Structure 1
């Protein structure tokens, strides 16, 4: 009897030890949320990936561009074709080492009515859009999202209508694109720096063949252009970083900033690091079949999703490919509504437009996936909230 008891005890100990040594599946942080909108309906879904719970809301229009604000708490919904910007509150507020739940998730009071709001930025405590319809900017403090009667103020930039962009510097000035008419089409050729009244404080010193895409770290703004990467400093200094000869006519038209690291992307050549110190452009993901690229919210990883359905994860600190694997079926280049991508430091999230779902992929194990039902035809998604499990 004693031998049997000893055997059972040892067996139980081995089982317990085995459980301790077996890696447990990683879950998403409790205070991460996904906001997902729809291509064909006004349905807006707020998803808590850790619990799988969803809340639904009615947006003003379908098919908005979604952006997370600087604080991580709010989102902006940019309805370009409807000339409107609205705001949304996740109801989560970061307090240093923990998160407070501030009431319920809901739309903010702050809105904007402007001519084709298109390019959006959230920096220095402000929400900013560039309005392609008339070349103006709309600016509002993020703190005013729930202020009674709050609206964006219009800022005249002295511009004509064009497909433009802007960036805010830490000193309160703005780098804004300028259309001088030397190149046909809607893309601008120059960048000037204006103050909060719209007055030019530093005129453009360089012209290029067309500008699209930009990012800023508060001290320098980086713009993609056909003639090279345009670097604009808050002091007004401007320079072009030439593209590698292998680019041919390709150019970086999407720019990301990740803790001082700038990344440029073009579907024609892939994703590249923009080295401001050495005026160089170096490959991170050389690939002509990238459907999407994205920086995760922690700004640790660059993700690339190919048309073939392969997800590639690059560590931005080491500039090395961590892992890659097939995660979704191949996507046709002729498909009208393609998947959208967002990511935290733990998971990638990919919309499945024809299935009404969002697919979650573990960045540690690309074969570990889970899907969440959202709206009928999910369009875009953005990550709200914070990467923590700590509450008050």
Structure 2
């Protein structure tokens, strides 16, 4: 009988231990969502790297030159790749297609067919299925629909005006707000805005003239442009207004603008000065964060939170709705060269921050900006974009 109870006790102990081991093995492993892809260009060579953070795999590609600017398209499947000095806009396909709450692989990562070879492409905008690049060299717009990137060899050209350092925003109805150079002010910056259709026909010409605009953003119904006098906004119907700056702005007018789709917020940025919330509905501009060390600021890939990078290596993450700082990290290992340098993007789970001079990319948790992983990338990884889909579920899961 004693042997029976002893054997039963031993069996129970083994089962308990096995259950504990099974539970330990079933603990979730921290990793990125399955369909997130990170595209990185190089500051010194034509190399591009496509990173799959969930698996750690890296796939090399060759672009048209160094310092290529990268912009996600409306669906996130593609990236617009802009080589301003090389007069080329091309498109890279992540091979991932999103469908609401799930995604699936669509072929393999590769270059799309469409390119644009207009002179000096600069500002790039994607909204819905529409894609535009403003060509500073002749004042034209290169246009293509995302759905045509594998079938249309070249972008179509919209004649929008004369050569200048211009910008544009796309409205939900397909019309476009684009800058207008009148010559009232010397230099390359435009003074006014107009609304045109997809053929370049002028629908509305703005009446507000500025001392020169730079930076713009749009939410599909409203386009905003930075100017010394304030933030100039215009609707698809041509209704304009000028949102005044708060006291203390002085000469630090907001020359970089972004719109965050998930937060439904506009921000304006001035390096070495501040990041400001722009509220067209209340006609006000208010500070989100101010410092003379700000190098750049932008939204994460979803447009939910604001990422701020400072010259001393401090990285900050802000919630623009609650107007509070989520976290900060002192990235003292960052090196800031004269050209190129650290750049960032963010998924729901991680902020991705490049450090070209050290050949490194850092993954920091969005909850507290603690370092999750350092990824070594050959060359000088600089500009960065999140493409693919911030999803973990496949269509057959």
Q: TM-score, normalised by structure 1?
A: 0.92
| TM-superposed deviation, 1:241 | 0.8
CA distance in 1, matches of 2:314, 2:16: 43
> What SS class does the counterpart of residue 133 from structure 2 fall into?
strand
Could you tell me which residue of structure 2 aligns to residue 210 of structure 1? Answer: 212
Contact 1:220 1:233 (C-alpha < 8 Å) held by counterparts: yes
Cα distance change of structure 1 residues 172 and 367 upon mapping to structure 2, 3 Å threshold: closer
Which residue does the alignment assign to 1:283? 287
Residue 387 of structure 1: which of 383, 386, 390 is its match?
A: 390
Decide which of 371, 376, 380 is 2:379's aligned counterpart. Answer: 376
Equivalent residue of 2:214, what SS? strand
**Shift in Å at residue 213 of structure 1?**
0.9
Match of 2:94 in 1: 90
- Which ranges of structure 1 fall in alignment gaps of 5 or more residues? none
Q: For residues 18 and 312 of structure 1, what CA distance do their matches in structure 2 show?
A: 36
Please give the alpha-carbon distance, in whole angstroms, between the structure 2 residues aligned to 1:105 and 1:199: 37
SS in 1 for 2:251: coil
1:366 to 1:2, Cα distance in 2 relative to 1, 3 A? farther
Task: Give the deviation of 1:3 after TM superposition.
Answer: 11
- The residue number in structure 1 matching 2:260 is 258
Name 2:34's counterpart in structure 1: 30
* Counterparts of 2:74 and 2:195, CA distance in 1: 22
**Using the alignment, how far apart are the partners of 1:4 and 1:247 within structure 2?**
77
In 2, the alpha carbon distance for the partners of 1:92 and 1:34 equals 12
Say if 1:182 and 1:350 are closer, same or farther in 2 by CA, change over 3 A: same
329, 344, 347: which one aligns with 1:344: 347
Once the two structures are superposed, what CA deviation does each residue of 1:118-160 show, in whole Å capped at 9, x if it has no partner?
110011311101100011111111111110x521011111x22
1:336–1:120 distance in 2 versus 1, CA, 3 Å: closer
For 2:355 and 2:377, the matched residues in 1 are separated by 10
Task: Quote the offset at 1:374 in angstroms.
Answer: 2.1
1:235 corresponds to: 237
Give the whole-Å Cα distance in 2 for the aligned partners of 1:4 and 1:185.
88
Pair 124,389 (structure 1): closer, same or farther in 2 beyond 3 Å: closer
Separation in 2 of the partners of 1:245 and 1:268?
17
Provide Cα deviations, 1:298-342, integer angstroms capped at 9, x if missing partner: 22211111112111111123221111121343645x643321111
Output one character per residue of 1:27-47: Cα deviation in whole Å (capped at 9) or x when no partner. 211100000111221111100
Instruction: Indicate how the Cα distance of structure 1 residues 355 and 330 shifts in structure 2: closer, same or farther if over 3 A, else same.
Output: closer
RMSD of aligned Cα (Å):
2.4
**1:237-261 per-position Cα deviation (integer Å, ceiling 9, x unaligned):** 1111111111111011111111331
- State whether residues 191 and 204 of structure 1, in contact with CA within 8 Å, keep that contact through their aligned partners in structure 2: yes
Asked if the contact 1:314–1:320 (Cα under 8 Å) also holds between the matched residues in 2, the reply is yes
Q: Which stretch of the first structure deviates more once superposed, 31-40 or 252-261?
A: 252-261
CA contact (8 A) 2:90 2:116 kept: yes
The answer to whether the aligner puts 1:245 opposite 2:247 as a matched pair is yes
Shift of 1:9: 7.3
The 1:243–1:331 alpha-carbon spacing in structure 2 relative to 1, beyond 3 Å, is farther
The correspondence for 1:222, drawn from 221, 224, 229, is: 224
Q: 2:11 and 2:360 mapped to 1: Cα distance? A: 51
- Shift, 1:98, TM fit: 1.8
Return 289-298 or 49-58, whichever deviates more.
Answer: 289-298
Residues 370 and 156 (structure 1), Cα distance of their counterparts in 2 relative to 1, 3 Å cut: same
- 1:1-392 maps to which residues of 2 (within 5 A)? 5=10, 12=17, 26-147=30-151, 149-157=152-160, 159-259=161-261, 260-329=264-333, 331=335, 335-392=338-395
Q: Provide the C-alpha distance between the structure 2 equivalents of 1:9 and 1:324, rounded to a whole number of angstroms.
A: 47
Unpaired segments of 5 or more residues in structure 2? 1-5
Aligned length: 388
Does the 8 Å CA contact 1:292/1:341 hold for their aligned counterparts? no
CA distance in 1, matches of 2:72, 2:334: 28
Indicate conservation of the 8 Å contact 1:315/1:322, yes or no: yes
User: 1:51/1:190 Cα in 2 relative to 1: closer, same or farther (>3 Å)?
Assistant: same
- Whether contact under 8 Å (1:36, 1:374) holds in the other structure is no
8 Å Cα contact 1:307/1:330 also seen in 2: no
Contact 2:72 2:80 in 1 (8 A): yes
SS, match of residue 357 in structure 2:
coil
